[in-house]
Chains A and B, each alone.
Chain A
């Protein structure tokens, strides 16, 4: 069965420091991988995705994610965190050749400390 794991419920990072939000997945084949962000009282906003090609993908607000096929991981990163990055982050996977549904991780709350 397809699954997405975000092992950390919460990540705390000091402003200006690099941040990483972890995501691993279990899907056969070559899935599409996504990161979304949810700010308080807002819907989900698309950050970035990986389909194929370069393992490092760049997205909105200075975020990037690294695809690692051998470790089945897709960690979200940012070189220098801002207080405004504080939000709930969801990793998601989509198997377009199977049922084409999106499976979301449980989310990781990111706190950037001033």
Chain B
């Protein structure tokens, strides 16, 4: 399975600011996925990022709030913009293997004050 790293692992931010989360994979992958896990909740898909094209956002998530970059086949970033306390969550990136299994990074724990 792919090895996925995320930076930062955690952060505490002030409301109104923005945070960019990085996701690095040790192999080339077509699609990368970004999820949010709010406190005590399950995972919700934010968007799917393909290299060379705009990310595809799920219902309830918009590019202005969660801009995503995918500059190459091993890297992606998710920015959480104009943060509010409701954005306090764990943000996870993931990738698929060839057999339909999705593997996840360690997550970024965000607290917005």
- A residues lining the B interface (CB < 8 Å): 32, 34, 36, 41-46, 49, 51, 90, 94, 96, 101-102, 104-107
Question: Which of B42, B92, B103, B107 is close to A46, meaning CB atoms less than 8 Å apart?
Answer: B103
Residues of B within 8 A of A46 (CB): 1, 101-104
A90 to B43, CA, bound (A): 9
Instruction: Say yes or no: is B67 at the interface (Cβ < 8 Å to chain A).
Output: no
Known: A34-B102, A43-B106. 6 other contacts (CB 8 A): A34-B101, A42-B107, A43-B107, A102-B45, A106-B42, A107-B42
Residues of B within 8 A of A102 (CB): 45, 102
The answer on a CB contact under 8 Å between B45 and A101 is: yes
The answer on a CB contact under 8 Å between A104 and B43 is: yes
Residues of A within 8 A of B109 (CB): 41
Question: Which of A49, A104, A105 is close to B101, meaning CB atoms less than 8 Å apart?
Answer: A49
Residues of B within 8 A of A107 (CB): 42
CB of B79 to closest CB in A, whole Å: 20
The answer on a CB contact under 8 Å between A90 and B106 is: no
CB-CB contacts of B91-107 with A at 8 A, as 1s and 0s? 01010000111111111
Instruction: Say yes or no: is B41 at the interface (Cβ < 8 Å to chain A).
Output: yes
Of all chain A residues, the one with the shortest Cβ separation from B93 is A43
The answer on a CB contact under 8 Å between B45 and A44 is: no
Residues of B within 8 A of A104 (CB): 42-43
CB-CB contacts of B37-63 with A at 8 A, as 1s and 0s? 000011101000000000000000000
A96 to B97, CA, bound (A): 13
30 A-B pairs with CB atoms under 8 Å apart are A32-B100, A34-B101, A34-B102, A36-B104, A42-B106, A43-B6, A43-B92, A43-B107, A44-B92, A45-B104, A46-B101, A46-B102, A46-B103, A46-B104, A49-B100, A49-B101, A51-B100, A90-B42, A90-B43, A94-B100, A94-B102, A96-B100, A101-B45, A102-B45, A102-B102, A104-B42, A104-B43, A105-B42, A106-B41, A107-B42
Residues of A within 8 A of B94 (CB): 44
A94 to B92, CA, bound (A): 18
Q: When A and B form their complex, which 10 residue pairs have the shortest distance between CB atoms, in order from nearest? A: A43-B106, A44-B104, A43-B107, A43-B104, A104-B42, A104-B43, A106-B42, A32-B100, A43-B105, A107-B42
